[in-house]
Amino acid sequence: MTAEGSHDFARVRRIVKTDEFSSVFRLRPAYKSAHFVLYTRPNALPHARLGVVAAKRFAPRAVTRNTIKRVTRELFRTTPLPALDCIVRLSRPVNGKDGPATTGALKAQLRVELARLFASQAASSARNSRKPAPDPS
């Protein structure tokens, strides 16, 4: 189940322990978008792992928070990433209590932002892996 390119979201692909979250949060944010911050840290596993933090103060409705988590997991599963611990944190309000909890437009906006975050991380790691090794002579 932990093969590269697997589209599952088994427990081994999740960051679940508080100390694992803390160790990633200690580092500088890797990327920011209008509503999200992506924190990353290399791990020693053969696959990437994901943690999602959607605070109630930025998404007051449970339906909205669950939508954010669902879209994030979907994009994480389908984006090829190197062995990283990734935490996606909601950093700005996405909607209020007035009006609908989720809309097609909100889902599309979230999908675009999150896809950009994961794509930038995948591109960054691809650039880093292409750098030539320093010449020891």
pLDDT at 7: 60
- C-alpha angle with apex 31: 20 to 7, nearest 5 degrees? 60
CA contacts within 13 A on the Cβ side of 14: 13
Contact 53, 87 (CB under 8 A): yes
pTM score, two decimals? Answer: 0.78
CATH of domain 11-123: 3.30.230.10
Residue 54, CA distances (Å) to 63, 90, 98, 99, 123 in order = 11, 5, 19, 19, 25
Instruction: Write the single-letter amino acid at 60.
Output: P
Residue 30, CA distances (Å) to 65, 79, 100 in order = 22, 17, 31
Model pLDDT for residues 21-58, shown as the tens digit of each residue: 887 878 777 788 889 999 888 888 888 888 999 999 99
Strand partners, 89: 37, 53
Q: Distance between CA 127 and CA 88 in Å, rounded?
A: 22
pLDDT at 119: 84
pLDDT at 137: 47
**Backbone dihedral angles phi then psi of residue 85, each to the nearest 5 degrees:** -95, 120
Q: State the DSSP H helix or E strand holding residue 48, giving kind and residue range, or none if neither.
A: none
